[in-house]
Amino acid sequence: MAGRMNGIGPDVRWQGITEGTAVFEGGNSREFNTGEWATVQPVFHADKCKQCLLCVPVCPDSSIPVMDYKRMDFDFDHCKGCGICVKSCPFGAIEMEGVK
């Protein structure tokens, strides 16, 4: 079954796609921009952030990039707007707002 993900396109019939909830390849989430599902999204306030990085490991979509031990702004291509990061931030550096 490995490699079936690469063949999915507009001409593929339902019999040619993978079953729902089945994972046939590891690490393929980078291939799918799932952020378009979001109705709300986090807003990062860099001036309030203390770079504790408590938000990074709780993000289920790995949408908080870190570079040189500092968190960057959100990866909205993959963020689904769950808000877990808001709850994990003790400094109020993350808030949720409607998608524009």
Per-residue model confidence as pLDDT tens digits over 84-95:
999 999 999 999
Calculate the alpha carbon distances from 12 to 9, 21, 25, 65 in Å.
6, 19, 19, 34
Per-residue model confidence as pLDDT tens digits over 30-42:
677 777 878 999 9
On average, the pLDDT of the chain sits at 84
pLDDT-derived band at 24 (thresholds 50, 70, 90) equals: low
pLDDT-derived band at 7 (thresholds 50, 70, 90) equals: low
Which pTM does this prediction carry? 0.69
The answer to whether 83 and 92 have CB atoms below 8 angstroms apart is no
